[in-house]
């Protein structure tokens, strides 16, 4: 199912970095559900750029790897510039299933949310093999911290399968370039009182050894980094979050 012709304009954006194994297959599947597709190639050094050149999609290419957060920022700007109503972000490693896109379209049609976030833990029956223990533990700790500090009720802080109302992106002044972008984004969303909904997606881990890059491959360092980013963003909103900033 594609979005209704007379409905909101929706663009699906897929950040990629060295995804030659998956990119052609994923784009073929996404194209069954989406009319507008943007790929952001974050400086791939494998055959990804050549494979993308054969695809009927728009591409933003970084000359060098600039980070996942930078790719999401580019997606925000593109959706705003070309006046889309909704932006959906998803990954290219087959952990986000294109057949879940109609679930996002249905949630968008309800018109009662500004951010619709996929959750791998919202419904137990959609959970597959468990993720690596350190990733699940960090996700749980960070999700608890985010909920406690921001008054939210999230079940999955780090899922990249999301839909954003483009008009709400004026509140999202992202400057984090790496994987800690959700920590900054959730604070901004809560500070702006954006309406947040979670919908279930399947839990899939194809590559439990996938690297975060450099020091972030160490779980302790990664957790510390996430907390630093979260604390720094809380401090920008002292009227709302001052008590929690000192406790993080």
List, for residues 86-111, the tens digit of each pLDDT value. 999 999 987 899 999 999 999 999 99
| pLDDT computed for residue 129 by the predictor | 60
Superfamily of domain 10-129+155-208: Spore Coat Polysaccharide Biosynthesis Protein SpsA; Chain A (3.90.550.10)
Q: What percent of the chain has pLDDT over 70?
A: 92
pLDDT at 172: 95
Alpha carbon 63 to chain centroid distance? 22
Confidence of residue 3 (pLDDT cuts 50, 70, 90): confident
What's residue 244's pLDDT? 77
Asked whether residue 47 carries a pLDDT value surpassing 80, the answer given is yes
Q: What is the arithmetic mean of pLDDT over 171-187?
A: 95
> How many CA atoms does the CB half-sphere of 49 hold within 13 Å?
10
Q: What is the pLDDT of residue 56?
A: 94
**Mean pLDDT across the chain, nearest whole number?**
91
Domain ranges of the chain: 10-129+155-208
pLDDT for residue 181? 96
CA distances from 56 to 3, 17, 53 (A): 18, 19, 8
User: Cβ neighbours of residue 62 under 8 Å, at least 6 residues apart?
Assistant: 40, 41, 42, 43, 70, 71
The per-residue pLDDT for 128 is: 55
DSSP secondary structure letter of residue 98: G
Q: What is the pLDDT of residue 208?
A: 61
At residue 124, the pLDDT reads 63
Provide the pLDDT for residue 28. Answer: 96
- Tell me the average pLDDT across 43-56: 97
Return d(Cα 104, Cα 129) in angstroms, integer.
23
Distance of CA 14 to the CA centre of its chain: 9
pLDDT band at 206 (very low <50, low <70, confident <90, very high): low
**Is the pLDDT score of 191 beyond 80?**
yes
Residue 31 clears pLDDT 70, i.e. is over it: yes
Half-sphere exposure in the Cβ direction for 166 (13 Å, CA): 21
């Amino acid at each position: 199912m594609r979005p209704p012709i007379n409905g909101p304009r929706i663009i699906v954006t897929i950040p990629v970095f060295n995804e030659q194994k998956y990119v052609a297959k994923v784009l073929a599947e996404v194209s069954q559900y989406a009319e507008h597709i943007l790929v952001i190639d974050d400086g791939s050094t494998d055959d990804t750029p050549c494979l993308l050149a054969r695809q009927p999609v728009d591409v933003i290419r970084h000359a060098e790897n600039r980070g996942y957060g930078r790719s999401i920022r580019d997606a925000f700007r593109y959706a705003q510039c070309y006046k889309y109503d909704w932006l959906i972000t998803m990954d290219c490693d087959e952990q986000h299933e294109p057949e879940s896109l109609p679930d996002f379209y249905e949630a968008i049609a309800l018109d009662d949310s500004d951010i619709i976030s996929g959750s791998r833990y919202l419904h137990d029956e959609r959970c597959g093999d468990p993720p690596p223990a350190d990733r699940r533990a960090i996700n749980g700790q960070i999700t608890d911290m985010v909920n406690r500090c921001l008054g939210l009720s999230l079940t999955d802080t780090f899922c990249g399968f999301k839909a954003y109302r483009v008009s709400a992106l004026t509140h999202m002044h992202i400057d984090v370039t790496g994987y800690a972008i959700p920590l900054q984004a959730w604070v901004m969303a809560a500070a702006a009182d954006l309406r947040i909904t979670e919908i279930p997606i399947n839990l899939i881990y194809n590559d439990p050894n996938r690297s975060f890059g450099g020091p972030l491959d160490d779980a302790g360092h990664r957790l510390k980094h996430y907390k630093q980013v979260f604390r720094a963003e809380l401090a920008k909103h002292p009227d709302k979050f001052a008590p929690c900033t000192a406790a993080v």
